[in-house]
Amino acid sequence: MRILHTMLRVGDLDRSLAFYTEVLGMRILRRQDYPAGRFTLAFVGFGPEAEGAVLELTHNWDTPAYELGNAFGHVAIEVADAYAACAQIKARGGKVVREAGPMQHGTTVIAFVEDPDGYKVELIQKKV
């Protein structure tokens, strides 16, 4: 068994796709409209679905926004350099909500960014 994807409901698919592809550097792996159900699924990731987990962005055409609630935490992405990743994300128009630095009570370097719908994405610096 393996994790295939995590699904996030998004209010504006084009805005979300721009964030995940242009700001974070993912690729659109596949996209399908379902007119009878009035929704679109778009899968994004850093590599092929067969090789790693991806994000499924679900856009229900008649729902412009969602309440995030308090149960969901974040999506985590490994980066080579969290400080450089934050600088690149800001330069591309992304929102850094926790600057890169050691995590509290530890030494792992982390940062947090926020997508257009308010979902948190943790950047975890790869240990060398």
- Reference 57, options 20, 89, 93, 92; nearest CA is 20
What length is written for the chain?
A: 128
CA torsion 28→41→5→22, rounded to 10°? Answer: 30
d(Cα 66, Cα 6) in Å, to the nearest integer?
Answer: 16
Q: Which of 22, 49, 67, 122 is catalytic?
A: 122
Question: Does 99 qualify as catalytic in the annotation?
Answer: no
Which are the catalytic amino acids?
A: 122
